[in-house]
Amino acid sequence: MRSLQTQLSLGLLASLIALFALQWLAANFFLRSIAEQQVATRLEQDAETLLAALMPESDDRLEVQPRYIAPVYLRPFSGHYYWIITAHTRLASRSLWDRELAIAPLPSGEVRVAYLPGPQGQRLFTRIAGYHKLNRDVTIAVSEDLSAFEHSLRRFQAGYAAVSSVALAVLILTQRWILRRSVRSLERTRSQMSQLERGEIDSIDVGVPAEIAPLVQELNRLLVILRQRGKRSRDALGNLAHALKTQLALLNHATEHPQLCSHTELQNQLTEPLERIRTLTERELKRARLAGAALPGQHVDIRSELERLAYAVRTMYAEKSLDIEIRANPGARFAGDTEDFLELMGNLLDNAAKYCCMQVRVTATAPPLVIRVEDDGPGAADDDLHALTSRGARADENIPGSGLGLAIARDVVETYGGTLRLGCSDALEGFLAEATFPGIPPKS
Amino acid sequence: MRLLLVEDDSSLGPALKRALEQAGFAVDLSSDGPDAEALGEIEPYDAVVLDLGLPGRDGMSVLRHWRAHGRRMPVLILTARSAWQEKVEGFQAGADDYLAKPFHTEELLARLQAIVRRVHGRAEPVLRIGGICLDESRQVVHTEDGTEHALTGIEFRLLRYLMTHPGQVLSKARLAEHIYDFDDERDSNVIEVYIKRLRQKIGAELIVTRRGQGYVFERKDRQI
């Protein structure tokens, strides 16, 4: 799609050129026709004077009485000529010297106007008319050289074209300036869109030109709907999980009944599927509750959330007196949902806290956002790492304990298009989990 | 140990109450928020097991209320909400531990004992004071000579309370408060009978009578 600005500029340029060309042609046409009309009137008068001055000579030939001839017709090549055709003679003005005008006789009453080549190569504006005098047919052609007029006409044309070009340029520039100004408000909307994507704002300003205001309003409305829908389905899933788990707790409790304890096999037949249902519920419902990057307008202050989490984990493992170190710049942000972020980091931190001796380190660097969780525990063997990292490992195949937590952490990271790498920590010589988020490329 | 169990599920609540009583706790069961809040504020509980989704007032607010009013008893949140968001909020509100449903009763007991011990500054699952050793999971006591004595429910509760408050004068009323639950008939005279039975099992010199005041568990040698 070509930009609006280019489209508008090209359209305007084309229509302005057409307009100026039309004006130029029209001005030319009218100027010329006015001039020709005026000259034609004069020529007609001259022709009538000549007609009146035509007198029969003694030999019965018609001759123009010299005293009626205007001086311009006498001066050679003056630009004013006449040419009279009678039945027997051709009478030429003195100004023609001895050149001729190529004219055919016209029947009486007819008038023709034409441009004829003149004695010095000029174009002569000529009025030819047929008359009837003294029972004889007379054709009188009167010409005037319009070079001077045409010369001024060309100067006018050049001037007009120059003025038009300047006007065209000024108009195009003005239009571009106006367009830039109105596009600037779109520019603001565009930058707000990327802010929205990065989660810095949660709706777009509606102070935009009327043409795109409905678009922005619609977008804002969709955002609200999306957010509500997300919340509704989250709440529904939360309620479902709540109900399911309470019932599972009851079943679990029932399996611990003393009468069942003596029937170990029967008890196992109950506890194993129950445990599987528990892991499945836990993982699949959590996965379904992940908001992901689908909801714009959210961001998490990494440091403060990590500190809250660290407090929770320290309390959970109070007997260990954990040393949890958080290395994140204040203000570092995770573009996404708080619950998702806590789910990811909670599982990673819990895992680290469970296996560490006492030291856990969380490092967040950006951009791209990379969060590393390291501990000083025994780490994991290569085989286990491989099993843990294998993609697509489903909840029911996972080893209970750390496996489920890491699987959920992976689900979160993948929901955001990131990757979770598991390995060994160089610094603390224990387990390392590293989540990398490609993030939204910064837009200028 | 007197414990408040807050659980609104009509089947799980009573089932848990029985399990906790078997583990030697005097248990009060509450099934709604405002009731639980009031009980926790008035009664001297040694621990609370708190569900979050409660009718009337949600568990998180109840906990915040207690903490805001200086109630410091250890609280274990037992809930079906397993999102970390809620865990974090629970700890922020002042919880000491958080257990997600479904759970195993053993795990609940282990965690509960752990937070109670933490409050009393102990890390071991076995109480060892004054040369005797109380095994909380089996509810038996080992005396200095190595013999094992089984304890009845009330005896166990009484001895555990005495051993977790060594050197303190404990009135009969206070002892009764911590070993009986709300619905039991609290006859403080019966305490004398139980003290007598305990003295027969662990030796008379460990529990000293302070006339008109109560009893003191002597820490003649310090905690190991």
The pLDDT profile of chain A, 444 residues, written as one tens digit per residue, is: 677 778 888 888 899 889 988 998 999 899 999 999 999 999 999 989 988 888 888 777 788 888 888 888 888 888 889 888 887 788 888 888 888 888 888 888 889 998 888 887 788 899 999 998 888 888 999 999 888 888 898 898 899 889 988 988 898 889 888 888 877 877 888 888 888 777 777 788 887 778 788 888 898 899 889 888 888 887 888 788 888 888 888 888 888 887 887 888 888 888 888 888 888 888 888 888 776 655 566 778 898 899 999 999 998 888 888 889 999 877 778 888 888 899 999 999 998 998 888 899 999 987 788 999 999 888 877 777 777 665 444 434 444 455 678 888 888 888 888 888 888 888 888 899 999 988 654 433
A305 shares a domain with A263: no
Å from A275 to nearest chain B CA?
Answer: 9
Residue that terminates a domain, selected from B82, B100, B119: B119
Q: What is the dihedral of CA B41, B43, B48, B50, to 10 degrees?
A: -50
The pLDDT score that the predictor gives to residue B76 is 95
The pLDDT score that the predictor gives to residue B122 is 61
Please give the residue range of the domain that contains residue A236: 207-289
B91 shares a domain with B13: yes
Residue that terminates a domain, selected from B87, B119, B151: B119
Answer yes or no: is A164 within a domain: no
| CA pair distance A32, B29, nearest whole angstrom | 111
Å from B159 to nearest chain A CA?
Answer: 24
B96 shares a domain with B164: no
Answer yes or no: is B58 within a domain: yes
Answer yes or no: is B155 within a domain: yes
B108 shares a domain with B14: yes
Q: What is the pLDDT of residues B61-92, one digit of tens each?
A: 999 999 988 888 999 999 888 889 989 999 99
Of A252, A318, A342, the CB nearest to B88: A342
The pLDDT score that the predictor gives to residue A66 is 82
Residue that terminates a domain, selected from A150, A165, A187: A150
Q: What is the pLDDT of residues B151-170, one digit of tens each?
A: 888 888 888 888 888 888 88
Residue that terminates a domain, selected from A255, A271, A289: A289
Answer yes or no: is B222 within a domain: no
Which pLDDT band holds residue B125 (cuts at 50, 70, 90)? Answer: low
Answer yes or no: is B147 within a domain: yes
Decide if B96 touches A, using CB distance below 8 A.
yes
Contact A318 B118 (CB under 8 A): yes
Considering only alpha carbons, which residue of chain B is nearest residue A249? B102
Q: Please count the residue pairs, one from chain A and one from chain B, whose beta carbons lie less than 8 angstroms apart.
A: 93
A384 by Cβ neighbours in 10 Å (0-12 / 13-18 / 19+) ranks as: middle
Contact A256 B118 (CB under 8 A): no
| CA pair distance A84, A128, nearest whole angstrom | 9
Write the CATH number for A369: 3.30.565.10
CA within 13 Å, CB half, A410: 20
The pLDDT score that the predictor gives to residue A191 is 86
Contact B80 A245 (CB under 8 A): yes
A309 shares a domain with A284: no
B81 shares a domain with B9: yes
Residue in the structure block whose two tokens are 């708190």 = B50
The pLDDT score that the predictor gives to residue A395 is 39
Q: Identify all chain A residues contacting B104, using CB atoms and an 8 Å cutoff.
A: 252, 256
Please give the residue range of the domain that contains residue B156: 126-217
Answer yes or no: is A438 within a domain: yes
| CA pair distance B53, A77, nearest whole angstrom | 117
Contact A250 B11 (CB under 8 A): yes
Å from B4 to nearest chain A CA?
Answer: 19
Considering only alpha carbons, which residue of chain A is nearest residue B105? A253
The predicted model scores a pTM of 0.62
Å from B199 to nearest chain A CA?
Answer: 32
Of A250, A318, A345, the CB nearest to B15: A250
B134 shares a domain with B92: no
A48 shares a domain with A109: yes
Considering only alpha carbons, which residue of chain B is nearest residue A278? B102
B197 shares a domain with B106: no
Q: Which amino acid is at A226?
A: L
A372 shares a domain with A283: no
Three-state SS string over A410-439 comes to HHHHHHCCCEEEEEECCCCCCEEEEEEECC
User: A95 with A73: CB under 8 angstroms?
Assistant: yes
Decide if B101 touches A, using CB distance below 8 A.
yes
Q: Identify all chain A residues contacting B9, using CB atoms and an 8 Å cutoff.
A: 246, 250
Structure tokens at A343: 């789910």
Answer yes or no: is B180 within a domain: yes
Answer yes or no: is A310 within a domain: yes
A281 shares a domain with A314: no
Contact A250 B98 (CB under 8 A): no
DSSP state of A340: H
B19 shares a domain with B114: yes
Residue that terminates a domain, selected from A103, A119, A150: A150
A250 shares a domain with A130: no
Q: Is the peptide bond before A367 cis (omega within 30 degrees of 0)?
A: yes
B105 shares a domain with B81: yes
- Taking the alpha carbons of B34, B37, B41, B43 in that order, is the dihedral positive or negative? positive
Write the CATH number for B20: 3.40.50.2300
Residue in the structure block whose two tokens are 């027997």 = A88
| CA pair distance A153, A139, nearest whole angstrom | 31
Å from B110 to nearest chain A CA?
Answer: 13
Answer yes or no: is A190 within a domain: no
B133 shares a domain with B102: no
Write the CATH number for B156: 1.10.10.10
Contact B87 A312 (CB under 8 A): yes
Q: Identify all chain B residues contacting A338, using CB atoms and an 8 Å cutoff.
A: 85
A301 shares a domain with A216: no
A385 shares a domain with A306: yes
Number of domains in chain A: 3
Answer yes or no: is B223 within a domain: no
Decide if B86 touches A, using CB distance below 8 A.
no
Contact A274 B102 (CB under 8 A): yes
Answer yes or no: is A171 within a domain: no
Contact A282 B82 (CB under 8 A): yes
User: A54 with A63: CB under 8 angstroms?
Assistant: yes
Answer yes or no: is A130 within a domain: yes
Considering only alpha carbons, which residue of chain B is nearest residue A289? B83
Answer yes or no: is B176 within a domain: yes
A310 shares a domain with A252: no
Considering only alpha carbons, which residue of chain B is nearest residue A276? B102
B190 by Cβ neighbours in 10 Å (0-12 / 13-18 / 19+) ranks as: middle
A285 shares a domain with A388: no
B190 shares a domain with B91: no
Interface of B with A in 26-55 (CB under 8 A): 53
Answer yes or no: is A192 within a domain: no
A231 shares a domain with A325: no
Contact B101 A245 (CB under 8 A): yes
Mutation target to probe the A interface, by most A beta carbons within 10 A, among B5, B75, B88, B104 is: B88
Answer yes or no: is A132 within a domain: yes
Answer yes or no: is B12 within a domain: yes
Number of domains in chain B: 2
A138 shares a domain with A54: yes
B155 shares a domain with B112: no
Residue that terminates a domain, selected from B119, B140, B174: B119
Contact A309 B88 (CB under 8 A): yes
